[in-house]
């Protein structure tokens, strides 16, 4: 997780710097969390698999003030498509819980001024406010002049010579619980878009909510479902939309429309671009529910016709995309035994680092574990707060502390039977507030054997306190300590040298060697991760299964991860 904070308390002070730092190429979304503030910057998101989350929707603001009438060095106007505040060209980019504005001013003075230019495929926008005047939201491909303007950032989004007459497009956008404000065609473009429970707010100037540019052979353009259409314009001054091109398509399904909406519904652009039956409504509600004065050419969908207009029908495409079904994320909270390590520390590996490669593709793992943290210091550094902002229903919060809680350091130490469970309760409550599942995992044993080869329990009362708390709070417990005690005793002191990080002298990362009795090497991390997953599935906790499963799973690591 990357933290952006203008006051310097995060990883970066600007959003663009954070986006540029994303390495790209990974399947899991890179989370960028924006602390509450106003970020006055033009942002280009040209990386795939990025999730940008604001700390508070109305108080986390990205704003810019470019407009169509701004001038190029040669004195020509820059035009609509270079006026954006945020441009997204990456695939699988999500924005959540923030505001994006273009503050250039009234379109009568400055021309078009785009807040959001959504050019990539599989874009997702949840609980985002988009505010501008003329032309707030454009969902469509790039043009050569835009590609040239954002250099050296390279885009892989669709690109056309002219958006006014572009070919059939494969790109899609999904909007959920968003607030979109503007005037004069303020939602426009050729992409397939689904708007779920969004509010469309017309400025006092009035105009058209939409101006779709759907290609002739493309079955769907913009679909608005369960949305609210309102505004501050005079009664009847807000048209549902007009066709930017002849075969544009826009549908409003089960939407609430107040008196600012025109009784005629849709409007012709001109004689060459009239409203057709590709424009339609179904089960309109509110003050403008009466369709008796609607444009004669627009479609009144029957129940049967409306029933086939679904998110999968409109957006799934060749890849079966379902943005309304979020891929669950497992957030890991813990210490160095769970954390991710760089290649410069190989073969030292946290067991949380091994989890993603043992899981199916329909689960993401966000490993937030950090070396040296206890349940107390993790909270003090606001790491739990940041995770809670990202948690969603269906996610899991996996909590595994003890190693550093046991230490005498006052910044980290907790008492096993008092403050330790009090801090663990904070994690449980945070998960449940967001509809996620909290899971407690007892710590891994240390590699300490007595003279008889019996593994010692070195964590005192901390694992027992976790077990008791899990029973009291009704939380799932994964008892890694007991399961690994059995496995490690079977392996013995010599066998567990292949579990813990023991490295002979001469290793490129450990020239003097390493003999660590607390931290794992790669093979051991895989074993512990497989133990965790078997217990999570409720499988029999036999020693043989753990060892055998771990041996089989070593091949799941990519070769480059093995290199020193």
- Return the CATH number at 390: 3.40.50.1110
Same domain, 360 and 266: no
Same domain, 305 and 347: no
Phi and psi, residue 379, nearest 5°: -70, -40
Mean pLDDT of the chain, nearest integer? 92
* Residue 2 reports pLDDT greater than 80: yes
CA distances from 5 to 359, 366, 427 (A): 33, 20, 23
Give, as one character, the DSSP assignment of residue 320: T
- How far is residue 52's CA from residue 12's CA, in Å, rounded to a whole number? 14
Same domain, 291 and 390: no
| Domain extent for 294 | 2-319
pLDDT of residue 539: 65
Same domain, 252 and 374: no
Q: How many domains does the chain have?
A: 2
* Residue 438 reports pLDDT greater than 70: yes
**Helix intervals (H) in 83-214:** 107-110, 144-149
464 in any annotated domain: yes
**Contact of 204 with 182, CB cutoff 8 Å:** no
**Helix intervals (H) in 185-293:** none
Same domain, 221 and 124: yes
**Count of other CB atoms within 10 angstroms of residue 164:** 10
HSE-CB for 404 with a 13 A CA cutoff: 22
Same domain, 401 and 506: yes
21 in any annotated domain: yes
* Coil, strand or helix at 396: strand
For 506-564, give the secondary structure using H, E and C. CCCCCCCCEEEEEEEEHHHHHHHHHHHHHHHCCCCCCHHHHHHHHHHHHHHCCHHHHCC
Same domain, 217 and 360: no
- How far is residue 251's CA from residue 209's CA, in Å, rounded to a whole number? 12
Of 319, 342, 377, at which residue does a domain stop?
A: 319
Of 274, 291, 319, at which residue does a domain stop?
A: 319
* Residue 436 reports pLDDT greater than 60: yes
Tens-digit pLDDT profile for residues 269-286: 998 899 999 999 999 999
Q: Look up residue 339 and give its two tokens.
A: 């954390």
The pTM of this model reads: 0.89
- How far is residue 372's CA from residue 206's CA, in Å, rounded to a whole number? 58
Same domain, 469 and 529: yes
Same domain, 366 and 283: no
pLDDT confidence bin for 176, thresholds 50/70/90: very high
* Residue 555 reports pLDDT greater than 90: no
pLDDT of residue 161: 87
Of 285, 301, 319, at which residue does a domain stop?
A: 319
Please give the share of the chain, as a percent, with pLDDT higher than 70.
95
Same domain, 252 and 353: no
Same domain, 335 and 306: no
Question: What helix, strand, coil percent values describe the chain, rounded to 5?
Answer: 25, 25, 50
């Amino acid at each position: 997780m990357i933290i952006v904070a203008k006051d310097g308390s995060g990883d970066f002070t600007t959003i663009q710097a954070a986006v540029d730092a994303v390495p790209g190429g990974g399947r899991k979304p890179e989370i960028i969390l924006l602390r509450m503030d106003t970020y006055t910057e033009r942002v280009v998101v040209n990386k795939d698999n990025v999730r940008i989350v604001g700390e508070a929707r109305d108080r986390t603001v990205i704003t810019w003030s470019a407009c169509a009438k701004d001038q190029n060095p040669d004195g020509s106007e820059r035009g609509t498509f270079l006026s954006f505040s945020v441009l997204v060209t990456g695939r699988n980019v999500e924005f959540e819980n923030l505001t994006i504005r273009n503050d250039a001013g009234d379109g009568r003075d400055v021309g078009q001024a785009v807040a959001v230019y959504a050019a990539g495929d599989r874009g997702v926008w949840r609980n985002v406010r988009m505010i501008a005047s003329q032309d707030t939201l454009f969902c469509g491909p790039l043009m050569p002049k835009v590609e040239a303007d954002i250099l050296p950032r390279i885009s892989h989004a669709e690109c056309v010579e002219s958006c006014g007459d572009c070919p059939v497009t494969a790109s899609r956008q999904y909007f959920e619980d968003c607030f979109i404000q503007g005037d004069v065609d303020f939602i426009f473009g050729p992409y397939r878009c689904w708007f779920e429970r969004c509010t469309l707010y017309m400025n006092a100037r009035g105009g058209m909510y939409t101006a779709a540019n759907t290609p002739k052979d493309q079955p769907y353009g913009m679909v608005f479902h369960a949305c609210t259409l309102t505004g501050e314009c005079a009664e009847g001054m807000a048209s549902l939309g007009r066709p930017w091109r002849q075969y544009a398509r826009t549908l409003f399904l089960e939407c609430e429309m107040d008196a600012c909406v025109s009784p005629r519904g849709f409007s012709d652009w001109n004689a060459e671009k009239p409203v057709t039956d590709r424009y339609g409504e179904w089960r309109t509600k509110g003050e403008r529910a009466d369709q008796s004065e609607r444009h004669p050419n627009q479609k009144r969908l029957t129940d049967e016709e409306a029933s086939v207009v679904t998110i999968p029908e409109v957006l799934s495409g060749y890849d079966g995309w379902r943005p309304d079904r979020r891929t669950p994320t497992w957030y890991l909270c813990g210490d160095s035994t769970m954390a991710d390590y760089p290649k410069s520390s190989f073969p030292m590996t946290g067991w949380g680092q091994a989890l993603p490669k043992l899981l199916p593709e329909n689960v993401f793992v966000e490993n937030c574990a950090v070396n040296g943290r206890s349940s107390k210091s993790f909270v003090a550094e606001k790491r739990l707060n940041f995770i809670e902002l990202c948690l969603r229903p269906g996610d899991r919060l996996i909590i595994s502390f003890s190693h550093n809680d046991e230490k005498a350091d006052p910044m980290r130490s907790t008492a096993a039977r008092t403050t330790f469970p009090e801090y663990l309760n904070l994690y449980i409550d945070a998960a449940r507030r967001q509809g996620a599942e909290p899971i407690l995992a007892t710590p891994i044993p240390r590699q300490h054997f007595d003279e008889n080869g019996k593994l010692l329990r070195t964590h005192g009362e901390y694992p027992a306190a976790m077990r008791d708390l899990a029973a009291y709070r009704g939380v799932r417990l994964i008892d890694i300590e007991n399961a690994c005690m059995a496995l490690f005793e079977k392996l013995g002191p010599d066998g567990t040298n292949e579990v813990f990080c023991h490295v002979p002298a001469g290793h490129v990362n450990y020239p003097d060697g390493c003999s660590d009795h607390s931290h794992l090497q790669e093979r051991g991390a895989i074993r512990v991760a497989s133990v965790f997953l078997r217990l999570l599935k409720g499988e029999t906790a036999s020693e043989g299964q753990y060892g055998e499963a771990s041996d089989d799973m070593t091949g799941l690591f990519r070769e480059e991860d093995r290199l020193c």
